[in-house]
Amino acid sequence: MVAAALLAPVLACAAPDSGDAPSPPSSADVPGWAFAATGMYYWPPDEDSFLLVIATADRGPLHLEARYNYEALDTGSLFAGWTFAGGDKLTYELTPMLGAVFGDTQGIAPGFEAGLAYGVADFYIEAEYLYDVDNHEDSYTYAWSELGITPWGWLRFGVVGQRTRVYRSDRDIQRGGFAQLMLGQATLGFYVFNPDDDTDRLAVLSLGAEF
C-alpha cells in the first residue's frame, strides 16, 4: 500500500548519458565484484542531525547490502538478494531481498529494490517491512522512491518520497524534490522534503561512489 501511494506522486528516473537508447547500469551484467557506498546526512527539524550509510556489493545477480541508521538510529542491517534485469527500450531491474536488523531495533526485514528506465527518465523504489521481534507493535513498512530526469550525463533531478520512522515527523508520507551531480564515479545529491512546511521541512545531503 505504501509503495502504491508513493508511485502516484513520486515516480523516479535515471537515464543514460547520451539521452538516446536507455542503458541504465545493471549490476547483474557486471563481471566480478562491483562495490558502492553512499552516505546521507539528515537535518531533521527539532532533532539532532545524523548520518545514514549504505554499502553494497554485487557479483552477477547476487546483491549484498549493509545499512546503518536506516531502519532506526543506532541500528544496523544486513541484506541479501537476487537481481533480475532485462528490457530493451524500456529496461527494468528488480532485486527481492531479505535482511536482518540489529542494534537498538532488532527484527527481520523482507523487501525489494526496483527500477525502470526509458530514454532520459527512470523510476526507482526501495521498500521493506520491518518486523520488530522485541515489540511487534513497532513493526512498520519503510519506502523511498524517486522519479528523475537526466537531461545531461552530469545532472539528474526530480521528485522524491519516503515513509520512515528513523526520525519523528507529522507526515506519514513525505514528499519533496532532489538534484544530483554525477562526477565520474561519484554522485553528489541534495534532497528537500516537505519544502512547503516550515515546521516539518527536512534537508538531506548525500555523497555516493562506485568502485
Domain ranges of the chain: 2-210
Give this prediction's pTM.
0.84
pLDDT at residue 60, rounded to an integer: 96
pLDDT at residue 114, rounded to an integer: 98
pLDDT at residue 16, rounded to an integer: 34
pLDDT at residue 126, rounded to an integer: 98
pLDDT at residue 168, rounded to an integer: 84
**Mean per-residue pLDDT, 135-147:** 95
**Mean per-residue pLDDT, 149-163:** 97
Mind listing the pLDDT tens digit for each residue in 57-104? 999 999 999 999 999 999 999 999 999 999 999 999 999 999 999 999
Question: What CATH number does the domain located at 2-210 have?
Answer: 2.40.160.40
pLDDT at residue 29, rounded to an integer: 62
pLDDT at residue 26, rounded to an integer: 58
Mind listing the pLDDT tens digit for each residue in 162-177? 999 998 888 899 999 9
pLDDT at residue 99, rounded to an integer: 98
Mind listing the pLDDT tens digit for each residue in 9-68? 333 333 333 333 334 445 566 679 999 999 999 999 889 999 999 999 999 999 999 999
Give the residue from 184, 153, 182 showing the smallest Cα distance to 17.
Answer: 153
> What is the amino acid identity at position 49?
S
pLDDT at residue 9, rounded to an integer: 39
